[in-house]
Structure 1
Amino acid sequence: MTDETTNTTEGPQGLLPDHVYDVLKWVAIIVMPALATFIVGLGGIWSIPFAGQLAATITAVGVLLGALLGLSSVKYNSR
């Protein structure tokens, strides 16, 4: 039988492993906004069809990813 109170060597666990969280956070904070801006910029210069819609979709995915990462952070910090 395992006593949960004696298992103090493990820290609190979030919804994601630390390395996955760090990569996804970098993608949500840096990559997604930069990619959306890049697409809007090139879309205007080269008249790329649906550039605005594509950039808006990327931004929406980035916001969703940020919200999910926020949930993971709250769960991690609440323990």
Structure 2
Amino acid sequence: MPARFAPALFGLILSGMMSLIVSGIATLRAAPLDGILSAWLGAWLISWAIAFPVVLVVAPLPRRLDGLLVAAPATQR
């Protein structure tokens, strides 16, 4: 895969992992234990479909804030 796709691939992986974890926690709290796996997967797919485009649109803001809050490493001579 060409390097130009790295930000989108990162967003895809990150949004998938985060939505899986968050939807799992929410489903565990809200659903009865019987049938929890199918409820979790359904919630995760919907969450991921929303999370991926949101990550792509919102990602530049945290990157800018990170650049403002973290000192750049000193260059070696």
Q: Which one has more relative contact order, counting CA pairs under 8 Å at least 6 apart?
A: 1
TM-score normalised by structure 2 residue count = 0.38
TM-score normalised by structure 1 residue count = 0.37
- The structure richer in helix per residue is 2
